[in-house]
Structure 1
């Protein structure tokens, strides 16, 4: 049985190939002899590992007994017979003991009428055993000591109950494949956590709206899985999205009371792509109203709290998604980023956040703040989960012409870049000007990031101190959100048609149904009469060129794979105090280049800190490789204690 590449090949704990599952060739089966050339190569690999020693039937039985006890289960397997433990015998015993469902297999060396053929298919589908290759299982091969250790760990994992907290998308898919979990059960688990920690208890106020059809959608996807198999890694997986992504089955509000009943006619492009992939849009998350700020407060949702320190901000503007995913309210989420709104809350909530290259992922159906800088992207607890979401949401959309630039730049899968050794030999520019600190809080962030640089070097990277040309001049430029918002919001409201509760920013201001703390910002944007000004055109053209040229020059001069710096200069501030993030997050939106933030540790006060990798246009794969290697080499993320 060939396995879905997305399901097994990316999980080191599940990979059992000729590299790991080496053994001694003790006599090929007739079927294996028929596949002579491939079998010969695999047999040669097996002979090289002879020193590992054969596994006897007694050793196999004892190891499985210990595995069952470790998992809190009982061993009901029949005691195996014979001196040596063959792979085919192990498959048959696993099938009987664990009550595995028979499954088809397509190995060249397993005859369809072989008595062990259904068991081979069953153990492969369950993730307990794998072939030496896609075509060879080698049923007559003897297990070796190293093989037994792998099988022991897999059986423990298989027997243990599914644990929701900190589960990855791969964990969820495996649990569903093993029959431990259904998508409907998974949705209910998340709904229970939201009720316990968002509505009550610590009351994070991260979720604005729950999908009333989530359970029925999950049930339909469970049925589809049973009859047709999963569509891919997101099949039946609950996702939370920032409430500025259009959803045709739930209100899309931007956090504003003025849009509390606004339901668009169609889904945003990225939402539609997630649904096509089998994801369940579990609900919509709070945001800083209209994405104006970095503290996540809105007239509709109130003040979202940081699960690591509920008296502190969660960052913004995608702070609802950040707090919710950190608190394990969904598998992963989507945010938007105009100036730092994916990366800031990801940093403050010990998450991975990807701001894609402008043009990689569609903005169609996202309530705009400044389309020159706007992007939507993944926020997740792991780099792998973020890569899975990026796979589903990136690509050309005829309704967003900028995505035409993505053609020819999309890999088969961003998960192909998940390399634990990805930092070995990588050349990382350390933007020293962005590490400097000016007060005690900033020093705590700087200390974490300086230590992170040491970790990068320990993991094999070459860390090169660099200065970015014209940085001071770049940072003098403002964000375009103060210029473009009025005109682009008015266009969005007009596209809603007759169903739009209001048709312009002016009407919204007149309604007084918005966060009064933003009144001056709203009125200043409304007062802007045109974009046909020299000031705007200078920002649009010269700021972009100046930033891109500076970044490309330093990367070329030092032959860099990426530039690294603190995602923010300060950690999450106390609610009610001034939140400062610094100017570091400007480089990505001002250039249009991609950036990824990944957890780097915690301050002495227990507040999360992130480091940001920035790369060249459409080089998300390299950033994912570097971030994954750092993540796997450090494992800095910890679940928040306020939502156990």
Structure 2
């Protein structure tokens, strides 16, 4: 990957032109009364920090306390298992950013705001495991491009979140390093995947925002199942260099937040494009043409529809009515199962092992001792070394199929790419034929269950590269979140964000989970965090 600047506490201090007082570099001491953080957005935190109502040190400590309280088993709950690693320098970095703010320096719109990132984003100061226990100490020399942009904007990377190993599963989050991530709305249920750690962590207020990756529903799925906003930008808008890949043909990086405003803000930072929030307006749906089509979900499984499907359909029907109430023109379109399955072909899934091996070969890093020596070639790290460790959570048949993949390019890969490019043209043509500003659909056909929390239309964005967003659309009678997905023509991310914002402001469906309530605001002991995995 391209070389990105390493960030150390010393470098943070040296980045300013001021000589800070010695007290600024002393061990950070949080206040006796920490801020209440449940329900806070990034926008809230930025305002509070600017107004002097809180400090970055206090925000970091409040979130560390919540991770300590709720991530492992507690009371009658199994715990979320959302976080793999916390930053050993988060409080120190927060203190330095507080000192800069006091001296009149602002790095950018995220100055002093704590965020979480999925553990496939390279970070120079924490291991990057990609969910694999074999990679628990795999340490890159540099940050991924997206993390560097966060830090340049002033964000504090609080920790790394659990994920499906190598981002493979999209219906649950299971890794060999931290086990299964649980849904904070019902901790017996799946958090979805593969970005379920970020989804559960943000839903439970372990931070106000985080990063996920999406190869087929891995941002929008966990967001829908945990009442979040998940933004999958147009492919190529946000750089993915420095992210452990699943399929380079489909991988996209994006934010997971509790509000559309925050999704646009983080999206702008990640994309280097301040125009992404230009169309956030309560009038943004007025005159927009939104396509909608009722799928028959009765054949979604061999045993019929998943439990709760009918209720989800009713909530999405209401969401579409709400779009219309805000001025959208709802257009009946033949967005059929056959169109999606037959014309929107995937170019991915046959480049996974080669993509991972190419990442290891191109990324300056410290490898776990002895790992590269498990299989030939013995002088470089490969996917075969990782699975030869013997502790992977990937199914044996998955491992076998990945190891059998040919190097790319090859004839089959070239054919798959050509089919995918034809699907991109078909999707672009569909929007043009019906003169649509967006398509509306349920993010998932059913609410989360114990081992399933999937997405219905992940192929639409993943296979064609168009932008999509999931926004909260309410809750079932069992209290489980439902998401409305909007997909838009390629490159119209700002317009799509505006429509999502207008819907969100009109409906206000998002609410925090009951299993992770606010902690007492005083009397909590500071948490001492050791470097390395929490589990």
Which TM-score band applies after superposition, normalised by the shorter structure?
A: 0.7 to 0.9
CA–CA separation in structure 1 for the residues paired with 2:131 and 2:506: 38
TM-score by length of 1: 0.69
1:574 corresponds to: 450
3-state SS, counterpart of residue 84 of structure 2: strand
* Secondary structure of the structure 2 residue equivalent to 1:241: strand
Is 1:505 aligned with 2:383?
Answer: yes
- Shift of the alpha carbon at 1:415? 2.2
CA deviation profile, 1:5-52 (whole Å, cap 9, x unmatched): xxxxxxxxxxxxxxxxxxxxxxxxxxxxxxxxxxxxxxxxxxxxxxxx
| Structure 1 match to 2:351 | 484
**Contact preservation (8 Å) 2:118, 2:163:** yes
TM-score (normalised: structure 2): 0.83
- The corresponding residue for 2:250 is 373
Report whether the alignment pairs 1:327 with 2:194.
Answer: no
CA distance in 1, matches of 2:297, 2:112: 42
- Counterpart among 616, 629, 632 of residue 489 in structure 2: 616
1:417 aligns with 2:293: no
In 2, distance between residues paired with 1:238 and 1:532? 40
- For 2:318 and 2:491, how far apart are their aligned partners in 1? 29
**C-alpha deviations, 1:558-599, integer Å up to 9, x for none?**
321111111111221114xxx263541101011111111101
Query: More deviation in 349-358 or 506-515?
Result: 506-515
The answer to whether the 8 Å contact 1:477/1:539 transfers is: no
Point out the structure with max Rg over C-alpha.
Answer: 1
CA contact (8 A) 2:344 2:460 kept: no
Structure 2: state its 5+ residue gaps.
1-33, 373-380, 518-535
Q: Quick check: 1:337–1:355 contact (8 Å CA) kept in 2?
A: yes
What corresponds to 1:214 in structure 2?
90
Instruction: Choose from 148, 155, 177 the match for 2:50.
Output: 177
What per-residue deviation string (whole Å, max 9, x for no partner) do you get for residues 495-517 of structure 1?
A: 245722331122222221311x4
Question: Are the structure 2 counterparts of residues 593 and 312 from structure 1 closer, same or farther at C-alpha, using a change threshold of 3 Å?
Answer: same
Q: For each residue in 1:578-630, what CA deviation from the matched residue of structure 2 results, as whole angstroms up to 9, or x when unmatched? A: x2635411010111111111011112221111111111112110110000000
Q: Name which of 465, 474, 484 aligns with 1:592.
A: 465
Q: Residues 168 and 583 from structure 1, CA distance in 2 versus in 1: closer, same or farther, beyond 3 angstroms?
A: closer
> Aligned to 2:469, what secondary structure does the other structure show?
strand
Tell me how far apart the structure 2 counterparts of residues 581 and 192 of structure 1 sit (CA, whole Å).
Answer: 31
2:258 pairs with 1:385: no
Name the CA distance, whole Å, in 2 between partners of 1:219 and 1:498: 28
Secondary structure at the aligned position of 1:596 is classed as: strand
**1:163 and 1:337 mapped to 2: Cα distance?**
31
| Alignment partner, residue 133 of structure 2 | 257
Query: Where do 5+ consecutive residues of structure 1 fail to align?
Result: 1-160, 396-409
Cα distance in 1 between the residues matched to 2:167 and 2:263: 22
User: Which of the residues 166, 169, 184 maps onto 1:293?
Assistant: 169
Following superposition, the deviation at residue 520 of structure 1 comes to: 1.6
Q: Where does residue 16 of structure 2 map in the other structure?
A: none
C-alpha spacing 1:359/1:304, structure 2 compared with 1 (3 Å): same
Q: Sort the Cα spacing of 1:469 and 1:536 in 2 relative to 1 into closer, same or farther, 3 A.
A: farther
| Residue in 2 that maps onto 1:70 | none
CA distance in 2: counterparts of 1:180 and 1:473, whole angstroms: 50
Q: Post-superposition shift, 1:347?
A: 0.6
CA RMSD of aligned residues (A): 2.0
Following superposition, the deviation at residue 533 of structure 1 comes to: 4.1
In structure 2, the residue matched to 1:535 is 412
Q: 1:624 to 1:301 in 2, by over 3 A?
A: same
Cα deviation digits, residues 458-483 of structure 1 (max 9, x gap): 11111111113784463587655531
Distance 2:105 2:143 in 1: 25
1:394 and 1:518 mapped to 2: Cα distance? Answer: 35
Residue by residue over 1:232-254, the C-alpha shift from the partner in whole angstroms, topping out at 9 and shown as x without a partner, is 32110000000000000000001
CA distance in 1, matches of 2:426, 2:316: 23
Aligned twin of 2:318: 451
CA 1:204/1:359 → structure 2, altered by over 3 Å: closer, same or farther? same
2 CA distance for matches of 1:463 and 1:448? Answer: 16
CA positional deviation for 1:216:
0.5
Give the secondary-structure state (helix, strand or coil) at the position aligned to 1:530.
coil
The 1-side partners of 2:436 and 2:514 are apart by 38
Secondary structure of the residue aligned to 1:482 is coil
> Does the residue aligned with 1:433 lie in a helix, a strand or coil?
coil
How far, CA to CA, are the matches of 2:199 and 2:337 in structure 1?
32
Asked whether 1:521 is paired with 2:388, we answer no
Shift of 1:418: 1.3
Task: Give distance in 1, aligned partners of 2:344 and 2:333.
Answer: 22
Q: 1:163 to 1:421 in 2, by over 3 A?
A: farther
Question: d(CA) in 2 for partners of 1:518 and 1:191?
Answer: 33
Does residue 327 of structure 2 align to residue 428 of structure 1? Answer: no
- Aligned partner of residue 490 in structure 1, secondary structure: helix
Does structure 2 conserve the Cα–Cα contact (< 8 Å) formed by 1:468 and 1:551? Answer: no
Q: 1:466 aligns with which of 333, 347, 351?
A: 333
Query: Is residue 146 of structure 2 the alignment partner of residue 270 of structure 1?
Result: yes
**1:469 and 1:550 in contact (8 A); partners too:** no
How many pairs align? 464
**Which residue, 32, 36, 50 being the options, matches 1:163?**
36
